[in-house]
Structure 1
Amino acid sequence: MLVWRRLLEAIDRAGKAAMVTVAAARGSAPRDAGARMIVHPDGAFTGTIGGGTLEWRAIALAQAALANPSGAKVAIRGFALGPELGQCCG
């Protein structure tokens, strides 16, 4: 439950924050389903969903949602790890 406490602390400090969660993982992946990170409006983050390009893209999507007052409250994006993403596992 530490992640939820950190999320509340981030919201208390900045008024908003984003939670990024690995919803599913198939095959070789840097983290299992359920891995979470918190993205702050200033781009700082707490936790990791696996690093690399995958994490960079997730942070960028979270920051865009935080910057847009009418942005998505929940969004699901799928990423295939491999040469196109520049991140291979296993």
Structure 2
Amino acid sequence: MDLNVRDVPPDVHALLRERAAAAGQSLRAHVIEVLTQSVRRPSVAEWRAQLADLPPVRSSLDSAELVRLGRRDGDPDSPPDGDPSSGPTGG
């Protein structure tokens, strides 16, 4: 399928050309990649609808504890519990 796009702002065209070159792609291939990535990502309305269909999450922990656990398990640079000065921005 062919698609012609007119009146692309010069700065947008220049950025597309630069990014295509940096990725070793033709402008055509890069634009197709950008469009494909964009339309495959759900819109905010679609994302909200998907979230609304999920069952509620139940936990005996409060939100602060969940955040603390998530940081501990997922971030190697997060400080140990109870010592905020030992992190990368502390002390």
Could you say which TM-score interval applies, normalised by the shorter chain? under 0.3
User: What TM-score does the superposition give when structure 1 sets the normalisation length?
Assistant: 0.24
Relative to its length, the structure with more helix (as a share) is 2
State the TM-score, normalizing by the size of structure 2. 0.24
Higher strand share: 1
